[in-house]
Amino acid sequence: MGEFVACRKPHIVCTPNVDHITQAQRDEEFRSIINSADLAIPDGMGVVYASRLLGTPLLENVGGRPLLVAFCGLAALKGYSVFFLGSMPGVAEKAADILKQRFKGLVIAGTYSPPIDFENIDSENAKALNRVVRAHPDALFVALGAPRQEKWMHRHLASLDVPVSMAVGSTFDVISGEVRKAPNWMTDVGLEWLYRIHQDPRRLGKRYLVSIPFFVWQVLKQRIVLKQKREQL
């Protein structure tokens, strides 16, 4: 990501997890954005496990939140500025304050929590775009939930003219303390989704109970196809 900032051209960074990949099977625009992203990192052990089953093993689970935090550390050293867009009012600002305390010298170009469905309201969408453009950050982190955040970044990539635009989901909520972080052992073995359901069963229960079985079935089907192709060689 530091190289993206150095070259100054706009880049998109996506953080596909199991739910994102499941959604992308039904959403052609979302799938295209992930596939064409300048950088797509595995967010969750489910993606890593699937890559191993399919014979294209990923080295590790990276995750959007650790990558954002690591980049902010780099930004503080290099003098890069960052902008936090999204989440509920006050959350991005709180997350920014926490990171400024952690990384002395970190430049927060701005934070903004747009209204719900802002991207479908011309005046509100223009307001959000203007906030970012005027701030002229080196990196923009967008927390609108998938696939809204990815689609918004992709549609406005040229007009934003930001070297790095990255989708970060619930990252601001976790950093700010609005949402509790799953224990490391649960993240390490791929059970972070279970912890999140426990915290917000009404919103996340159906999502994960549908997406995880679908994802597993798709991976197993692809594994069978790959095995059949190898046997035919």
Nearest to 216 by CA among 58, 46, 70, 68: 46
d(CA 20, CA 130): 28
As a whole number, mean pLDDT of residues 18-31 equals 95
215-232 pLDDT per residue, tens: 999 999 999 998 888 888
- Those residues with Cβ within 8 angstroms of residue 129's Cβ, 6 or more apart along the chain or in another chain: 156, 159, 160
Q: Which residue bears the tokens 């190898």?
A: 230
92-136 pLDDT per residue, tens: 999 999 999 999 999 999 999 999 999 999 999 999 999 999 999
Range scoring the smallest mean pLDDT among 4-13, 67-76, 155-164, 212-221? 212-221
- Those residues with Cβ within 8 angstroms of residue 22's Cβ, 6 or more apart along the chain or in another chain: 210, 211, 214, 215, 218
Q: Are strands 164-167 and 11-14 parallel, antiparallel or unpaired?
A: parallel
pLDDT at 185 over 90: no
- DSSP state for residue 9 in the 8-state scheme: S
The predicted pLDDT at position 59 comes to 87
Q: Is 56 helix (H, G, I), strand (E, B) or coil?
A: coil
pLDDT at 233 over 80: no
The predicted pLDDT at position 182 comes to 86
d(CA 65, CA 49): 20
Flag whether the pTM goes above 0.85.
yes
- In the sheet that holds 164-167, the strands lie side by side as 39-40, 11-14, 164-167, 139-143, 81-86, 107-112
In the chain, what's the furthest Cα-to-Cα distance?
59
